[in-house]
Structure formats: structure tokens, C-alpha cells
Amino acid sequence: MPTPSDKAVRQWFITGASGGLGRHLTEHALRRGDRVTATVRRPSALEDLRKTYGDRLTVEILDLTRPADVDEVVGRTLQSGPVDIVVNNAGYAVVGAAEEMTVEQIRDQIEVLLLAPMLITRAFLKPMREQGGGRIIQISSVGGQIGTPTHSSYHAGKWGLEGFTESVSHEVADFNIHLTLVEPGATRTGFASALHYTTETAAYRDNAVGRTRRFLEAADDSVFTGDPAKLAAAIYDTTNHPNPPLRLPLGSDTYEAIHTTLTRRLTALETQKDLAASVVFTH
């Protein structure tokens, strides 16, 4: 069994670790000698890693739509010792027009993408503050900075996570707690095959919603350029930086999309400068 190196062994807490980026990050941290508590929905998902790394990997079953379960798992994890790095990774996307989405689909998106990371982050802030610091990694998305048709609830969750994280980063900076928003682009994690779809309506079949839906329905991982193993290594490296970035865009597609969106937004803002100033009191 691989053994830790001479460096200090750190404790990770990673959600959504059964596959995709979460599994790659779990395996990378273990391979580098750290310990990981990984949450999954299927108990057998990480059995191979548990056989390889033994008691350096703890697997917890967690349904992020159940806040009471979040409290129980986090509490049990903290009882076994301090946690140095938290990764809120679990997520999925519902595809379809906003009008087509059910209340349940919208609620589940917000609970998994926003509410659960908020609750997990809050649960670890006090122990990290008391132990003198820590790292919280929020797996956001290029979709946390841009908006595309068919992903309105997904964007709501990711944009909300970005705002929450930026605010909290200012609140805890004095306590040596660093938060980083990771913004991957299209990555070969099987994400497309796990998409949830609304019941399609005729009104949206032939517009931007329908075209995007057709593309995603036909897509497989081969069209995605992001390497999840390289993403995991890049994320791991940031945890060794004394002053990690608040935002970490990963993927050339992410960089180009965000750059284009922010440029357009700034251009539009500049055209509104005089109007913005026109509504203030003048004395």
C-alpha cells in the first residue's frame, strides 16, 4: 500500500467523489500521501481505492438534498480530527427551458449546487478558524460566469455559489481561511451522459433551447477537451499556495468564454455611465 511522504499529511473532505473530477481529486490527494473523507451515494463506488489506500480513505454515504444528513456526516468527520481542505464538488445539471422545469427539478438543483455547499462551508468555518486556517474549494463552472440557454437552474446555483463564496472569502480572510472557486469548462467526466432533461415542449423545439438540447443529447465525452486528471492536479497545487486565487478558470474554452462575456459586460456598462450618474441627488 502506498505510504505518505515526509511532508505533513493533510485531511481532505470531498463531496461527489464516486466519479468524475471528485474521484480524480480523491485519488490524486491519496497518491500524494494525504487522507481523504469522500462522500458518495453508492457505498461500493470507491472500493478499489479503499483496498489500495486502506484507512487513509474514509467513505461516507451522503445525500446532499437532506440537510440533516449533511450535519451528521460533517459532524462525524470532525469528531475524528481536524479537516484541512474541503471540496464541494457534487453536482449535476437539468437541461431544458425554464418554463419546462418542474418545481422539484428547480429545488433539487438549488439544494445540490448551492444550499449543500453553503451548509458544508458554514459547518467547517468554526473548526478551521479555531485550528488557525484551512482551504475550501468550491467546484463552480464556466457556468458560474456565463449564461447559456437550457441551464437556467444550473446557472442560478453556480452564480449563487460564486456570490456566496466571494462574500465569505472576505469574512474569513483574517483567520487564514482561503476559498477558491474552480471554474472548469467542458471536461471528460461523463457529465453529458448524466444530464437530466425536462419534458420538451413544442414551443422551444426549434429555437436556441432546442438546438442546445439536440447538441447535448448527441454529445459524448470525446467532444470535451478538459482532462480531469490535469484539473485535479491543478486544484491540488493551489492548496499549497500561501495566497491561492479566488477564481481558478480551468480550460482554454473557459478562459475564452469568460473573457468574451466579461468584455461584453464591461462594454455594455460603459455605455450606461451617464445614465447611472443621472439618478443621484445633486446639491
List the helix and strand counts (H, then E) for the chain. 10, 9
- Do 162 and 181 form a contact (C-beta atoms < 8 A)? yes
SS3 of 121-155: the string is HHHHHHHHHHHCCEEEEEECCHHHCCCCCCCHHHH
Retrieve residue 189's grid coordinates. Answer: 467526466
CB-count exposure of residue 247 (10 Å: 0-12, 13-18, 19+): middle
- Do 64 and 116 form a contact (C-beta atoms < 8 A)? yes
Length of the chain in terms of residues written: 283
Which long-range contacts link 98-104 to residues 24+ away (Cβ below 8 Å)? 98/152, 98/153, 99/201, 99/203, 99/204, 100/198, 100/199, 100/200, 100/201, 100/204, 101/152, 101/153, 101/198, 102/198
Among residues 193, 239, 236, 194, the alpha carbon closest in space to that of 92 is found at 194
Task: Indicate if 273 belongs to the active site.
Answer: no
> Choosing from 18, 140, 141, 152, which is the catalytic residue?
140
Task: Indicate if 7 belongs to the active site.
Answer: no
> Choosing from 18, 53, 152, 154, which is the catalytic residue?
154
**What letter does residue 185 receive in the DSSP assignment?**
-
Task: Indicate if 158 belongs to the active site.
Answer: yes
> Choosing from 153, 158, 204, 236, which is the catalytic residue?
158
- Do 249 and 234 form a contact (C-beta atoms < 8 A)? no
- Do 137 and 117 form a contact (C-beta atoms < 8 A)? no
For the annotated catalytic residues, the residue numbers are 140, 154, 158
